[in-house]
Copies of this chain bind each other. A is one copy, B any other.
Amino acid sequence: MSKQISIPALKRLPSYYYILCQSMESGKKYISSATIAKLLDIDDTQVRKDIAATGYVGKPKVGFDIKDFKAHLENYLDLNTKKEAFLIGAGNLGIALAKYEGFKKYGLNITALFDEDIHKIGTMVGSKKIFDIEKLPDLVERMNVHIAILTVPAPKAQEVADFLVQSGIKAIWNFAPANIKVPDNIIISNQDLASSFVTLSLMMSGK
């Protein structure tokens, strides 16, 4: 945990973890960096560098013990610790994310939703309540949640992001297709949903 790993490398690790889960399900015992590289279409040397940065070492010739490597990554990526987040903007996307089953395996839990719509405030999405956005600063402090998932419409994204920062939020996962500015001490990750589509459509056109 003490070594500094680069952010892009960090971004690649979840895909390695995904492959390990898949390989384990299919009953394999060992996997090589070359196989991982091929499955993800990235350079083998890059894969080896990334894995080394997490402090994990494979066995010469046989590669990585899948079960052991998976446990290592779970620990490194802190997947067994529950990570709480608030979701801001209880529209279709917000509700879909609040219900999304795929977050569980990464330990992500959306604690509560926030909206400004008086018709939504107080209602439930499954077991999660929609709160008045005005309550955010108070709940950030009381519940000690510092990550926000931003699913408001693009034209409102900057204004809401400013309010999140004022409310004590430290990291924003932005789904709005808007270029948001935040102070340097705030972490922002923009979810660009469309770029995967570009690759898919180009692959289909035979490029």
Please report A residues at the B interface, Cβ cutoff 8 Å.
Answer: 1, 4-11, 13-15, 18, 22, 25, 40-43, 46, 77-79, 83, 85, 91-93, 95-97, 99-103, 105-106, 108, 146-147, 149, 153-154, 170-171, 173, 177, 179, 187, 189, 191-205, 207
Contacts and interface: CB of A to CB of B under 8 A. Distances in A.
B194 A105 contact: yes
Q: Which 5 A-B pairs have the closest CB atoms?
A: A102-B177, A8-B41, A14-B195, A93-B96, A92-B96
Task: State the oligomeric state as a number of copies.
Answer: 2
Given A10-B203, A41-B8, A201-B83, A192 B103 contact: no
B99 A207 contact: no
A28 B158 CA distance: 22
Residue among A177, A196, A201 with the most chain B CB within 10 A?
Answer: A201
